[in-house]
Each structure stands twice: as structure tokens, then as C-alpha cells.
Amino acid sequence: MIDYKYIKEKYNTPLFVYDINVLHERIKYLKSNFNKNFNFAYAVKANTFIIKETDSLVERFEICSQGEYEICEKLGISRNKMVISGVNKDNEFIEDLISKYDDVCKYTVESYTQYELLNELSEKYKRNINVLIRLTSGNQFGVSKECLLNIIKEHNNKYLNIDGIEFFAGTEKHSLAIIEKDINYINELVNEIENDLKFEIKEIEYGPGLPVFYFQSDSFDEDSYLNDLNKLIEKFGNKKITLEVGRSIAASCGSYLTSVVDIKDNKNGNFVILDGGINHLVYYGQMMAMKVPHFEVIPEKDKNKVVYNLCGSLCTTNDLLIKNIELNELSIGDTFIFKNTGAYSSTEGIALFLSRELPKVVLVKDNHDILVRNNNKTSVINCPNYEEE
């Protein structure tokens, strides 16, 4: 258990805290619920601060930009665990990788243009590369079934190995019925490729969009959900299976600490101003601050009950964290600890708005805390530099 009082006094707020023991237990729990032959790829977009801490427990990292690659490289992640994925694969970046390294685990093909790029570069540098073709789930990502079949039919390059298919269902997939439909669709396609085109699909990298339930009103029997999902994924049969997971690995290890800096009743409501808000806090499924995420307040008090609207520090009426919540009467300096903020809050928040400082980031492992990012100024990023040229 993290001593939040100590952490708050040491680092001040706003602050992200990631509990590495919780992270490790979470990955072990997820793995224990799936067939032991399934591999896991951590989708680093969910939270780049915990990449290194997941390394010993996941088989791959799903990387969708040069920036994510640079972070992984700096952290010493082995290239043979990296899946270079995503739309807009920058030509120079990909050429640099293919020309220099023969140990990148996989590249994904998101479009016919990307296929041509990877084809051309693997031939140019006579570099063996392994690819997965991403089948679209009905959006801008991946290629159509027809395009995928055409690529396999016309494929004729000994340097580029098509190992299989990548498919991402979309995030927060609650419905196993929809997942079953997707899996049947992929299996039909695999049968067509293997029977009609006589081409072996060796592996499937599948992002199930494992859901996280963030709000106090939610109820979720995760054991039985995962058990049923595992049975569905086993329908892929005897192929190498890698599950791409971000949110469900990262969410539970994170807390976001933000303190009360002002309290006022301006006749339109009783408002609490916190030193951090929607620029750092992203709860998928939150609607107009109506839903109540899991949180606690320190120090604990036993005072009169008061109804508050909790707001952040941005100049927008959208910066509302919880509406009409009854709490023990608050004082300036009290700190909210918002739970389940390990996924996407540090990466998806609108952190540059209003040029406020970034929250510090602290990792806690076995009662040892380490500051891994300071409260960097965003004014440096938002300020034009007329000397730039």
C-alpha cells in the first residue's frame, strides 16, 4: 500500500503515481486467465512511464510512432520485442530502422502504400523483415479483406516474410458477442488464405480491447469475462497468438493526486478548484462529469457533508471532474487521489492547454519511490522561438 500522505508531502501535486507491484500483479493476473501459450504485447501508447517495468512480463511492445520507438530504445527495450505499428509510418524512420537493424521483431502493414514501402526497403537493403498485415475493424486502420488477399496473391519478395494478421477490435470492448463475430470473420479469412491461396498464416496478433470499468456505479465479473474471452480466442487454433493490450494492463497501477487550491460558492454552485484536471485525467466513458470514478481524499475527516462540483485549473467550463458530489467538508490543501489512472491519462490528456506545468511522475516499487519526470514547464513547448531557424 502506498503511503500517499508521505508521497504528497515529498513531491507535492499534481502528480501521477504508478504502483509497480500492482502493475506486476495485474499482468500476472491477466496472463493466468489466458491459455499459457498466448503472448502479450504491451501497447505503449497507454503509458510510456511503465514500459521498462513491464519488460520482464510481456513478450512484445506495440509501438506506433518514432517517438514511442525512441522511448523504448532509450529504456533499453530489445528490438526483437518491438512491433513497429501504426498509420503514417514515416519513410525516413522506417528506412533508418531497416537499413541499420536486422532484429526488429515485426512491422505491421496498415495500407498498400506501407506494403510497397516495406517491400522496397527490404529489397534495397537486402534485409529480412517480418510483417503482419493489419485487417481493418471498420475504420481508418488496417486494410480491407480484398487488399489483404491481393497483397498475399502478388507477394513475391524473399526478404519480406508475411507472418500473419494483426487485428485490433477497438478499445473497451464489453460485448463478447461482437468479439466472437470478429474472431469468426478472421478465421474465415484465414481459411480462405490457407485453403485457396495455399499460404500459411503463422500468427495472429489480436487486440481484444480488454475493458476497464472506471466508475463507482460499474459492476464487472472480470474472471468470467476473461474465461469466456479466452475460449473465443482459442478458436484461432494452433497459431502463435499475441494479445495486444494497453488499458487493461496499465489502468489499475495509476493514481493521480491533485489538491484543493480554492473553494467558492458563486451562487451558481459550490465549486472546488483543484491544481490538476482534465488536462491530466482521462476516464474513458466519463460523461459531462456525471459519473463518479473511484477516489479517496486525504487527510480523512469526519465533518459536515457538503455538495461540491470538482473543477480543474483550465480556462474552460469542460474542466469539471465530478458534478454534484457529496463529500465531507473540504479545506484548501486537501488532496484527491483518483484511482485507475494508469492508462491514457498521462498520454491522452490535453496537457499543453493553458501552458500549465506537467504533473510529476513517481514510480513506487517495494516501498521505494523514484521521481521519473519532474514538473516540466509546457511554456517551453508553447512559446514560439524566433531564433529556431
Ligand X SMILES: Cc1ncc(COP(=O)(O)O)c(C=O)c1O
Question: Contact positions toward ligand X, by CB under 6 A?
Answer: 43, 45-46, 62, 85, 168, 171, 207, 209-210, 244-248
DSSP 356-371: PPPPEEEEEETTEEEE
Q: Closer CB to ligand X, residue 8 or residue 247?
A: 247
Q: Closer CB to ligand X, residue 182 or residue 244?
A: 244
Q: Which residue(s) pair with 198 in the sheet?
A: none
State the minimum distance, in angstroms, from the CB of residue 267 to ligand X: 42
State the minimum distance, in angstroms, from the CB of residue 147 to ligand X: 17
Q: Closer CB to ligand X, residue 54 or residue 171?
A: 171
From the list 148, 140, 72, 63, the residue with the least C-alpha distance to 109 is 148
From the list 238, 143, 155, the residue with the least C-alpha distance to 199 is 155
Residue with cell string 479483406: 145
Cell numbers given for 75: 529504456
CB distance 245 to 41 below 8 Å: yes
For residue 243, the surrounding DSSP H or E stretch is strand 240-245
Amino acid making up residue 114: Q
Residue 143 is classified by DSSP as: B
Q: Closer CB to ligand X, residue 248 or residue 258?
A: 248
Q: Closer CB to ligand X, residue 22 or residue 87?
A: 87
State the minimum distance, in angstroms, from the CB of residue 131 to ligand X: 14
Cell numbers given for 326: 457529496
Q: Closer CB to ligand X, residue 85 or residue 255?
A: 85
Q: Closer CB to ligand X, residue 280 or residue 360?
A: 280
Cell numbers given for 305: 457533508
CB distance 105 to 135 below 8 Å: no
Q: Which residue(s) pair with 205 in the sheet?
A: 166, 242
State the minimum distance, in angstroms, from the CB of residue 305 to ligand X: 37
Phi, psi of 363 (to 5 degrees): -100, 135
State the minimum distance, in angstroms, from the CB of residue 248 to ligand X: 6
Helix, coil or strand: residue 259:
strand
Residue with the shortest CB distance to ligand X: 246
State the minimum distance, in angstroms, from the CB of residue 46 to ligand X: 5
State the minimum distance, in angstroms, from the CB of residue 247 to ligand X: 3
Q: Closer CB to ligand X, residue 11 or residue 107?
A: 107
DSSP-derived pairing of the beta strands 254-265 and 270-274: antiparallel
Residue with cell string 463507482: 216
State the minimum distance, in angstroms, from the CB of residue 173 to ligand X: 8
